[in-house]
Amino acid sequence: MTHPTAGGILAASDALRGPQQTFTREQVAYLMRLAYDSGRTAALLDDLAIMHAAFAAHTWRETNERRVARELAEMDRAARAAAARAGRPYRIHPGGPVDWETGAPIHLGAAA
């Protein structure tokens, strides 16, 4: 079993570009070994990349609960900053319909 070296690979590529048209049995075997090793290396690197991506997706993936909490916190910070810029107090909206003009909650039981 031969292990290709950088010098051997360069010599093989030079031989392929040179005027030589026929190759010895040893040269063909060596070039086939280079191609095989190159393919095995590419397959190994592909497998490693897939493994790393799967690990990163599993380990560092943000859960839906954390993502929603983060987005709500960002919206809360933005709402507090907007209230401060407008010079009005910040209050958490209780949910439900609001008056378009004032932004005040509409109490459905009081409207008749």
What percent of the chain clears pLDDT 90, i.e. is strictly above it?
A: 16
pLDDT at residue 110, rounded to an integer: 55
For residues 15 and 30, is the Cβ–Cβ distance under 8 A? no
pLDDT of the residue at 78: 93
Residue type, 107: H
Whole-number pLDDT of residue 112:
46
DSSP states of 2-66 as a string? Answer: ----HHHHHHHHHHHHSS-----HHHHHHHHHHHHHHHHHHHHHHHHHHHHHHHHHHHHPPPHHH
Quickly state the pLDDT bin for 59 (edges 50, 70, 90). low
Reported as a single tens digit per residue, the pLDDT across 12-47 is: 777 777 776 677 888 788 888 888 888 899 889 999
